[in-house]
Homo-oligomer: A and B are copies of this chain.
Amino acid sequence: MKHFSEISPAAERVVDVAEDLLQQHGYNGFSYDDVAQLIGIKKPSIHHHFSKKEELVAVVAQRYTHRFREELLRIEGQHSKAPDRLTAYAALFERTFVKNRRLCVCGMLGAEADSLPEVVVDEVQRFFKVNLGWLTSVIADGQSDALIKSQSAAEVLAEAFLCALEGSMVVGRGMRSPRGPAEVGNTFLFGVLT
C-alpha cells in the first residue's frame, strides 16, 4: 500500500480535499469529480494520483491515523495526569466536530465498513486499535495513581470512552445539535471514571 509520506504536493491536495468530503458525506457520498472540482482540475487528474478510489481513501485514513498519533504524543508531553490526558483526548474529537459537525474519518468509515474495500477497513481497524491501546494505558496509569476510581478493567473503560466520543459525533449530527464530544467526554470522565 502506498504511504502518505511519499506522495507529491499535488497528490496531497487531493488527499486534503478527499478527507474533507469523506468526513462530510462518507465513502459512497463523494466522487472523484467532487474532488476534482473542489481543487479546480479534471477528474482524470485525480486518477493519475490515485488510480482507484479505495487507494485514495486508504491513504486518507492512513494519514489521519498518523496525525492522531502525533496528537497523542503531544498530549503526553503537555499533560502528565490521566484525567487531563483524557480531557485533552476528547478535545481532539471536539475540534473536528465543531467544524460543521465533521465526523471522525474512521467513525464515518466504521459505520460504512460493511460495504467498504478491505484495504480501507484495514486502516480503520488500525486507527481504533491505536486509540484503544493508548487509552487503555492512560487509564491503567490513572488507576495506579488512584486518579481514576473505577476499578473496571482499563481495557473496557477505554472502549466505552472511545465509543461515547465516536457516538457523540453521530448523534450530534443526527440531532442537528451543537452538543458534541467535549460534553459527552466530560460526563464520562467526571460522572463515571473519576
Contact = CB atoms under 8 A, between A and B. Distances in A.
A25 B29 CA distance: 12
A62 interface: no
Interface string A75-114: 0000000000000000000000000110100111111111
A152 B189 CA distance: 11
* Count of this chain's copies in the oligomeric assembly: 2
Interface residues of A, number: 52
Interface of A: 24-26, 28-29, 100-101, 103, 106-115, 121, 124-125, 127-129, 150, 152, 156-157, 159-160, 162-168, 170-171, 173-176, 179, 183-184, 187-188, 190-193
Nearest to A110: B174
